């Protein structure tokens, strides 16, 4: 078999080799590290993973691309499995409210929070939402993310807006290198018009929205915000079961602020993930472990909300719950696309080891989206979604936080991102002014020559000046 792209001399190749399922307990530390690693890719699939040189049965051709992994750490593409990617507007005005002591539910009760974004999303055109979400996807890709989940939820009772969000996500999945997996979150908040009659809105979601979403194949998952002041455990159960009855896999925003029983619900219903879980009960955690529900943890949200509370990640892992990590990118509670920052938070604040962190951000993230057979590890037969980080080892990437360590990203076997390089150069510019023109010749010996012309009337002057040029490529 011939290789179209080869990454060789990899100092630290983190393969996450193992079973195609969520990794639990000590498995989360087994990252399949190979020193002096090599990976070969044919089209969009991985055809060889090993140490040293390629075996004789893997051939190259004249167009084979070679990437040097010397000094690099190479991992599977990161998976951001909980985002609110498609939305209108922003909510920076809420920052001062939070600094003055307002809590999340207080802002929501006052008509802010989700309701503010609902209004902005309804007003935004398809093109505006597409452009805004694409910009965020570009940023995510730059941080090494190759697969993203995108929730609706900013239309609520305006079903046309919910559909618009999911249609934007569908088009982005088609157009953008990053794969986008869609989730229907019509049950994101109680619309203001149904504040005194939430039962009616639940009926609309169950009887009208979910069947139509399923019929139009707009989403893979159905999600509910199960929280005090939003949807009760009973209402959430009804909505999730309706989704399951129509072929939509279940996810749930659970126990983010108060211990309402969301973790227990996730176990009962058979959710793929329960997300947030900041206030999850010990009983709920045990039940999730028993039923194989993945804990999708969002430490950047806790950081931004200034709650001082983070999910009990260590306890979850010790109990046998598979842990995934996500940004929760959204305009209110977590306005960041930086998955690497989330990974550092998970280690520094929630005490996960770097090995557990990379597992959570790759194979367990893939399992959160039921894509573990295709992505999440660097193994023969899987999609060639790979990140080359400009770091000497995994520990360094987690330790040196707040910056972007991504060097290159390979998605489906193609190089889709390369870090810009900044170079300062000195050269000489010769300015020749004649009676009817100005010619500026910039010479960088051995690199390039630029020639600028301007038509005007000047006296004849010939001068030379030194200048500095800042290049980005």
Residue range 432-438: mean pLDDT, rounded: 54
pLDDT of residue 295: 99
Q: Say yes or no to pLDDT of 456 above 80.
A: no
Residue range 274-290: mean pLDDT, rounded: 98
Residue range 436-449: mean pLDDT, rounded: 53
Q: Say yes or no to pLDDT of 440 above 60.
A: no
Determine whether domain 78-370 maps to CATH 3.40.50.300: no
- Of 266, 200, 210, the residue nearest 233 (C-alpha): 266
Residue range 115-139: mean pLDDT, rounded: 97
Residue range 324-332: mean pLDDT, rounded: 97
What percentage of the chain carries pLDDT values higher than 90?
A: 82
Q: SS3 for 295-353, per residue?
A: EEECHHHHHHHCCCCCCCHHHHHHHCCCEEECCCCCCCCCCCCCHHHHHHHHHHCCCCC
Matching residue, tokens 């000489």: 428
Matching residue, tokens 């200048």: 467
Strands, E assignment, 159-318: 179-187, 221-226, 249-254, 273-276, 294-297
Residue range 382-402: mean pLDDT, rounded: 98
Residue pair 317/24 in contact by the 8 Å Cβ criterion: yes
User: What value does the mean pLDDT of the chain take?
Assistant: 91
Domain boundaries, the chain: 78-370, 422-472
pLDDT of residue 21: 98
Q: Say yes or no to pLDDT of 455 above 90.
A: no
Q: Say yes or no to pLDDT of 460 above 50.
A: no
Q: Say yes or no to pLDDT of 450 above 60.
A: no
pTM beyond 0.85: yes
> Which range (66-75, 98-107, 166-175, 229-238) has the least confidence?
98-107
Residue range 48-70: mean pLDDT, rounded: 97
3-state secondary structure of 350: coil
453 or 399, which is more confident?
399
Residue range 171-187: mean pLDDT, rounded: 98
State how far the Cα of 291 lies from the Cα of 21, in Å rounded to an integer: 14
pLDDT of residue 420: 86
């Amino acid at each position: 078999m011939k290789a179209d792209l080869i990454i060789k001399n990899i100092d630290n190749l983190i393969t996450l080799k193992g079973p195609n399922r969520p990794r639990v307990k000590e498995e989360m530390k087994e990252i399949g590290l190979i020193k002096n690693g090599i990976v070969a890719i044919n089209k969009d699939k991985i055809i060889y993973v090993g140490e040293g040189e390629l075996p004789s049965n893997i051939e190259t051709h004249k167009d084979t691309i070679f990437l040097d992994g010397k000094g690099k750490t190479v991992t599977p593409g990161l998976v951001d499995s909980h985002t609110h990617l498609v939305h209108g507007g922003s909510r920076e005005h809420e920052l001062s409210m939070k600094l003055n002591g307002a809590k999340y539910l207080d802002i929501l009760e006052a008509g802010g929070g989700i309701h503010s974004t609902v209004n902005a999303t309804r007003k935004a055109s398809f093109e505006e939402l597409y452009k805004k979400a694409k910009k965020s996807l570009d940023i995510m890709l730059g941080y090494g993310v190759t697969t993203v989940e995108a929730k609706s939820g900013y239309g609520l009772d305006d079903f046309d807006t919910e559909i618009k969000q999911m249609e934007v996500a569908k088009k982005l999945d088609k157009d953008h290198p990053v794969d986008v997996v869609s989730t229907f979150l019509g049950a994101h908040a109680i619309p203001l018009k149904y504040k005194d009659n939430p039962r009616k809105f639940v009926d609309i979601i169950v009887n009208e929205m979910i069947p139509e979403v399923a019929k139009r194949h707009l989403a893979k998952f159905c999600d509910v915000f199960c929280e005090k002041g939003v949807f009760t455990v009973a209402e959430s159960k009804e909505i999730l079961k309706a989704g399951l009855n129509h072929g939509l896999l279940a996810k749930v925003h659970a126990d983010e602020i108060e211990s309402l029983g969301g973790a227990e619900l996730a176990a009962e219903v058979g959710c793929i993930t329960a997300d947030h879980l900041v206030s999850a009960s010990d009983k709920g955690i045990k039940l999730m472990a028993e039923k194989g529900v993945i804990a999708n943890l969002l430490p950047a949200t806790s950081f931004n909300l200034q709650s001082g509370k983070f999910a009990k990640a260590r306890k979850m892992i010790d109990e046998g719950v598979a842990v995934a990590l996500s940004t929760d990118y959204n305009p209110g509670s977590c306005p960041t696309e930086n998955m690497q920052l989330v990974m550092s938070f998970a280690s520094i604040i929630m005490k996960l080891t770097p090995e557990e962190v990379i597992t959570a951000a790759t194979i367990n993230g893939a399992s959160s989206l039921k894509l573990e057979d295709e992505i999440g590890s660097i193994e023969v037969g899987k999609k060639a979604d790979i990140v080359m980080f400009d770091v000497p080892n995994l520990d360094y990437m987690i330790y040196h936080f707040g910056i972007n360590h991504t060097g290159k990203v390979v998605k489906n076997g193609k190089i889709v991102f390369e870090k810009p390089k900044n170079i300062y150069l000195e050269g000489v510019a010769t300015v020749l002014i004649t009676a009817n023109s100005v010619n500026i010749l910039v010479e960088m010996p051995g690199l390039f020559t630029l020639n600028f012309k301007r038509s005007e009337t000047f006296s004849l002057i010939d001068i030379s000046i030194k200048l500095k040029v800042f290049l980005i490529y």
